[in-house]
Amino acid sequence: MIRRLVPLKPADVAARLRDGRAALVDIREPDEFQPRHIAGAVSRPLSAFDADRLGLAPGREVIFMCKTGMRTGANCDRLAAAVGHDAYVLEGGLDAWAAAGLPVAAGR
């Protein structure tokens, strides 16, 4: 069965996170995540990505993200396979989130 990542606009991601029905997985490296990220995002760097260690609560939607969406798009098959069902991607990544005026956290 083909798994895929369905693109979501930043406002849609924000609503799903606010409702508690989704988990946001940031695949950027730690040196990218630490200084600037979305509050509540789980850091799972692509360089050490392990599907068995996602550690997400079952029954929640999974939304993957990176800085611009390019890295997530280039690895969509691998990421979707890790979830075992269709998952989502933050369209435009962190850059689009910030451009939409949504809050970005700094530091840990």
Which position among 66, 80, 87, 90 bears the catalytic label? Answer: 66
**If phi over 0 gives left and psi between -120 and 50 gives alpha, with beta otherwise, what is residue 93?**
left
List helix spans (H) across 1-92. 10-18, 30-33, 70-74, 76-83
User: Is the CB of residue 26 less than 8 Å from the CB of residue 44?
Assistant: yes
76 is catalytic: no
Contacts of 57 (CB under 8 A, 6+ apart): 23
Residues classed as catalytic: 66
